[in-house]
Structure 1
Amino acid sequence: MKRKVSFITFGCKMNQAESQAMAEKLSPHFDIVFEEKMGKSDIYVLNTCAVTSEAERKVRQTIRRLKKSNENSKIIATGCYSVSDPEELKKVGADLVLGNLEKKQIDRLLCEEGIYSDKHFWFHNEKYDILVPNEPYGDRTRIFLPIEEGCINSCTFCKIRFLRGLKIVSLPTEEVIKSIEKFIEKGYKEIVLTGTNLGYYGMDNSETLEELLNQIGKSFADKEIRIRITSLYPEIITDNLSTILNSYPIFEKHIHLSIQHFSDKILQSMHRKYNRKMIYTAIENLRKYDSKFSITCDLIVGFPGEDEEDLRILFDSIEELKVLKVHSFRYSLREGTVAAKMQNQIPGNEKKDRLSQMDKIADLSRKNYLNDMLGSRVKVLTESSSKKGLFGYDEYYIPHNVQFHEKKIEKGEFFSTVISSLSKENKGVVSNVL
């Protein structure tokens, strides 16, 4: 009887893709499950996140709970937290700690114990492979395709570049195209391009993200698929890139922007490479071809030195741009970063209040955007079904609760709908099959 290995994933889409790839490496010899957290598995692989102190706390909490549920299970911690503080993970109960390089060799290191985490792997590895999965993570309908790894930015609040690597590694265009072809042959309809910082795609091999997307558009324009891009910085959204995304029907009419703030003062303090005007220009570029083009974004409140005027600019911009969804965060002090040593740190209770204010503005922004979409005809890709109807996302990344129709619709199938109303709690829309 095969032993059971459970993968529990924290953080970004890149982690989900890598968890799936690691699971595929182990699947010939183990029974693989995902997100089983009740202590019933023999081995747990926790693919960790270190973007905030809260993310790290959740990892430690999970390790302690699993050890309490089943003291005989082996716990393997990998990912960004494993690079940031491997000793702490070992201390709270991890039997084996693997860094972001070592996770690629999990099949070889599985039986080991201790710490195998190289904090400076990018300095002495000329080339290392990107982990590309063959199947979706768990039982999901979309598949994540990592095409880039590494970041060379110097944002004052972030330490991910030290954990993911300062060397840019890209999956060559030819391999990206082959991977997409393989996914289409397997019947997958939604492919999500992901990376540490997609804007740096091709820096290591003289290719560019614009050239890649244009090639993908040309190669698969006649296929019934959807290509989604996880996250881009505003300065990457040129008019040419916007033209490409709006020219081919396979590209989702949605972009997630890594913005963090709208105040020029705060953006400069964060050491971002853009200002508020550039953010607006990027969104104008995208909506020039389709006024419904949706925007989601990451935003941080409570950064050192943030004052009432900065908050006003932040809140006004969210509402004015009709952002579909805000991934909201309180500034989290990260030891070793420039921002951790800045003056005028905001107290925790004040950051909590500011986050609450921003969430209310974000909800209003979402409602305004969705109201503008009422009556629109869109194409939904089914993700699940129940007695109450179907659930899926359209090309604008809007979640749909779809009323049943006499036509039988399977999971992973595209179908046309018309948006009739907003769903409860402003989470998405209700639509009807055409």
Structure 2
Amino acid sequence: MKVFIYTLGCKVNEVDSELYAQEMRLLGAETTTTLTEADAVIVNSCSVTNRAQAQSLQFARRALRERPGAPVYLTGCGAALLNLTRTGAPVGVTVVAMGDRAEVARLVVGSGDTVQTAARWVDGCIQRAGPRNRVDVRVQEGCDNMCTYCVVPFVRGARLESKAIDVAVDEVMGLAAAGVKEVVLTGTEIGKYGRTPLALEEHAREEVPDMLPVLLDSMLWALEAAGLPTRVRVSSLNPDAITEALVSQFANHAALCPQLHLPLQSGSDAVLQRMRRPYASKSLLDSVQRLRADDPSFALTTDVIVGFPGETEQDLQATLDVIRLAAFAKVHVFPYSPRPFTPAAREDHQVSAGVAKDRLHRVLEAAEQTGMAFARRFIGRDVTIVSEKSSLGEVEGYSEHYLWTEGHVCGNKMLERDNFVVVHVEGCHFDGDRVVLSGSAAT
């Protein structure tokens, strides 16, 4: 049996899809990258924006058309939102609730096999690399920030839960021993790693321990002690998670990639307050300063929402100012999208689509400027990539600073994929929505 898995959205969804594939292999099925040969289709959906939800359902309909007779399963946040809004899926599509994720593999394969699969997400460990040579390792689930524009706590859950340190370290050590060159620690709100609702209640008047640095220190010392070269990347953190204890981990461990995704959303404190974000613009800029105090080339990427209800021209200017001051390597910008159950969707003073589109282009222009200025810092320096694409005379991959890098290979040689390759950077250019470094690869 061959199963096609289509994944939209965040890294947490990517982890779920990889676990589905892993469990289906245990049950005797295999995955395919060709839709037309699939015996079953899983659409692991996203609902963070109207567009993402529509794309999820659009692909489910496509699968029904192109593989008539093959069962189609809708999982993920988009499926959860259909259930919450009591909206029907396309006829012929089976909706799998978020709470039933552990049963997806058995449901698809139709197996009553006694093979043990993880009953809860904290018990699920990825054992080998999938199609990508970077492996996402989920260490946390749940977000209780309740931002006024965000539907994620409703569909994925607001209850905070974390994978135990020893379990997370063992998972990464297993991947490293299997030859994986880079792991990315991810979660719904990874900055709250180690926190639970009970812990927050019991210690409401005490300082909550900062457990993410403890996890990183344990993991990185274990890799170093074993002599394994795998590098570790942390995905996305809010500014309030950038503590001195966390910053020290980057100074203490060379295998910890000097890059973070630091969501901005808006540079206007008035807008941030209406969004119910847990920081002000100065807090973000202070976090940037702490991260770059020892390493001025520490790479930062971000998210920006334009057209949030009530956003003014002055608010947009504040956002542009923070983007330039933070010198982001990349900015993911998207127009505000009203979501069910969220307070922002009910606000007055909704910004028109035309104004939001104009502001989006202005943010993209600023992002290109800051991205190119940041990339130029690496000209004349060596970076190390994990080779993802390789052809005669060319090798490509992400550097430790998460900059896509193209290396020219002397003698028209073809280097192996999934290896560390040193590239001497000689130039940079902008391609699509990202900067690209280019130079000569060492052989």
Q: TM-score, normalised by structure 1?
A: 0.91
CA distance in 2, matches of 1:383, 1:127: 32
- Structure 1, residues 294-352: CA drift from partner, whole Å, max 9, x if none? 00011110001110111111112212322111111110001210101111111112211
| Structure 2 residue 216 is the aligned partner of structure 1 residue 208 | no
Residue 324 and residue 161 in structure 1: after superposition, are their counterparts in 2 closer, same or farther (change >3 A)?
same
Shift of 1:94: 4.7
Residue 345 and residue 403 in structure 1: after superposition, are their counterparts in 2 closer, same or farther (change >3 A)?
same
Answer yes or no: is the 8 Å Cα contact 1:146–1:195 preserved in 2.
yes
Q: Which amino acid aligns with 1:267?
A: L
| Structure 2 residue 98 is the aligned partner of structure 1 residue 100 | yes
Worse-superposed segment, 298-307 or 81-90:
81-90
Corresponding residue for residue 117 of structure 1: none
Answer yes or no: is the 8 Å Cα contact 1:379–1:394 preserved in 2.
yes
SS at 2:74's partner residue?
Answer: strand
Q: Which amino acid aligns with 2:41?
A: Y
Answer yes or no: is the 8 Å Cα contact 1:8–1:34 preserved in 2.
no
| Structure 2 residue 239 is the aligned partner of structure 1 residue 247 | no
Corresponding residue for residue 114 of structure 2: none
Residue 78 and residue 130 in structure 1: after superposition, are their counterparts in 2 closer, same or farther (change >3 A)?
farther
SS at 1:304's partner residue?
Answer: coil
Corresponding residue for residue 257 of structure 1: 262
CA distance in 2, matches of 1:36, 1:85: 27
| Structure 2 residue 70 is the aligned partner of structure 1 residue 70 | no
Answer yes or no: is the 8 Å Cα contact 1:422–1:430 preserved in 2.
yes
Residue 353 and residue 155 in structure 1: after superposition, are their counterparts in 2 closer, same or farther (change >3 A)?
same
Q: Which residue of 123, 126, 129 corresponds with 1:133? A: 126
- Structure 1, residues 208-246: CA drift from partner, whole Å, max 9, x if none? 112111212222235311101111001100122111123
Corresponding residue for residue 115 of structure 1: none
The count of residues paired between Structure 1 and Structure 2 equals 417
Answer yes or no: is the 8 Å Cα contact 2:9–2:52 preserved in 1.
yes
Q: Which runs of 5+ in 2 are unaligned?
A: 111-118, 200-208
SS at 1:351's partner residue?
Answer: helix
Q: Which amino acid aligns with 1:428?
A: V
Q: Which residue of 401, 404, 415 corresponds with 2:406? A: 401
Aligned-residue CA RMSD (Å): 2.1
CA distance in 1, matches of 2:275, 2:171: 36
Residue 219 and residue 111 in structure 1: after superposition, are their counterparts in 2 closer, same or farther (change >3 A)?
closer
Answer yes or no: is the 8 Å Cα contact 1:130–1:148 preserved in 2.
no
Answer yes or no: is the 8 Å Cα contact 1:201–1:208 preserved in 2.
yes
Q: Which runs of 5+ in 1 are unaligned?
A: 113-125
Corresponding residue for residue 325 of structure 1: 330
Corresponding residue for residue 172 of structure 2: 180
Corresponding residue for residue 410 of structure 1: 416
SS at 1:430's partner residue?
Answer: strand
CA distance in 2, matches of 1:190, 1:365: 26
Answer yes or no: is the 8 Å Cα contact 1:17–1:132 preserved in 2.
no
Answer yes or no: is the 8 Å Cα contact 1:227–1:252 preserved in 2.
yes
SS at 1:260's partner residue?
Answer: coil
SS at 1:216's partner residue?
Answer: helix
Residue 89 and residue 386 in structure 1: after superposition, are their counterparts in 2 closer, same or farther (change >3 A)?
farther
Corresponding residue for residue 279 of structure 1: 284
Q: Which runs of 4+ in 1 moved over 4 A?
A: 87-90
| Structure 2 residue 222 is the aligned partner of structure 1 residue 219 | yes
Answer yes or no: is the 8 Å Cα contact 1:46–1:76 preserved in 2.
yes
